[in-house]
Amino acid sequence: MDIICCPLDKQELELDARQEEAEEVIFGTLTCTQCGERYPIEDGIPNLLPPDMREA
Amino acid sequence: MTDLAERRGMETDVYQPAEDSHLLAEVAAADIRNDDLVLEVGTGSGYVSEFVADATNSRVLGSDVNPHACENARERGVEAVRGDLVAPFRDGAFDAVLFNPPYLPTDPDEERDDWMERALSGGESGREVIDPFLDSVGRVLAPDGRVYLLVSSLSGVEEVVFRASKNGFSVVALRDESFPFETLSILKLVR
């Protein structure tokens, strides 16, 4: 969390952890505190692609 | 690292470690300090990140635009983030950034839209991914941060050095190695 940010406006992200294992978030959501854009965490990997690159 | 067609003998969704990966891993690991926070952009299989983390005890994150690459890297024990170059990382976060970029010059008419193409192709100039990387990487570097960038003679080393200088970096070549079709260099960029 101290390393990543919103790829659009570089603002802080707020973490909503749904599933954690060994202090690691496996599933959850990161939400930009500024623009409100939401980024999923799936299988331990945050997907911080901007929305227009997210398909595929 | 011959040509694209030849590389395609081995169809997979993720670029597998090759001479370029070994070269970047070795040279970067020898130069990185134990307590550095390191980002590898375009980590692919995660090989370079794992090598550097093991050799230096530094914390190494791997990022890639390709979801299959992120999965591979994570399976190797590398913290993976899916993202576009350095876009999802904080200002001044990293002591070192590593990148073995897609650099093969490619005829636009022959480009295919798949993950292996994106791992290899640097567009017509060979620098279509390197250029935006050079323009943006400075933002995520700590004040004394360094970039370790692999470049090939195929995509033009001088042009890469020029672009890096324009972005305020001084450049030294840490290692050059000749292969049948190209020379690979590891450039270290500092400010």
Per residue in A15-36, pLDDT (tens digit) is 999 999 988 899 999 999 999 9
| pLDDT for B12 | 74
Chain-chain contact of A49 with B74 (C-beta, under 8 angstroms): no
Cα–Cα distance for residue pair B39/B61, rounded to 1 Å: 5
Contacts 24+ apart (CB under 8 A), B14-18: B14/B44, B14/B45, B14/B66, B14/B68, B14/B69, B14/B72, B14/B115, B14/B119, B15/B44, B15/B45, B15/B69, B15/B116, B15/B119, B15/B120, B16/B44, B16/B45, B17/B44, B17/B45, B17/B47, B17/B48
Say how far apart CA B87 and CA A33 lie, in whole Å: 17
pLDDT tens per residue across span B95-154: 999 999 999 898 888 777 889 888 988 999 999 999 999 999 999 999 999 999 999 999
pLDDT over threshold 60, residue B8: no
Quote the pLDDT of residue B112: 78
Q: Shortest CA distance to B38 belongs to which of B176, B148, B172? A: B148
C-alpha span between A36 and B138 (Å, rounded): 26
Facing residue for A3 by CB, picked from B61, B71, B87: B61
pLDDT tens digits for range B42-75: 999 999 999 999 999 999 999 999 999 999 999 9
Chain B residues in contact with A10 by the CB 8 A cut-off are 90-91
Give the pTM.
Answer: 0.92
What residue spans define the domains of chain A?
Answer: 1-46
Question: Nearest-CA residue of chain B relative to A52?
Answer: B84
Tokens of A51: 């929305």
Report the pLDDT averaged over residues B11-24. Answer: 88
Query: Can you tell me which residue has the tokens 């398909």?
Result: A55
Cβ(B83)–Cβ(B65) under 8 Å? Answer: yes
Closest-CA distance of chain B to residue A44, Å = 8
3-state helix, strand, coil in chain A (%, to 5): 5, 50, 45
Are β-strands B94-99 and B182-190 bridged in parallel, bridged antiparallel, or unpaired? Answer: unpaired
Q: First-to-last CA distance in chain A?
A: 25
Given this model, what pLDDT does residue A7 score?
98
Select the residue of A3, A7, A45 nearest B74 (Cβ to Cβ).
A45
Helix axes B19-31, B47-56, angle to 10 degrees: 30
Would you say residue B1 has pLDDT above 60? no
**Rounded to whole angstroms, how far apart are CA atoms B129 and B101?**
7
Look at residue B186 in the predicted model and tell me its pLDDT: 97
Q: Given pLDDT bands bounded at 50, 70 and 90, which one contains residue B4? A: low
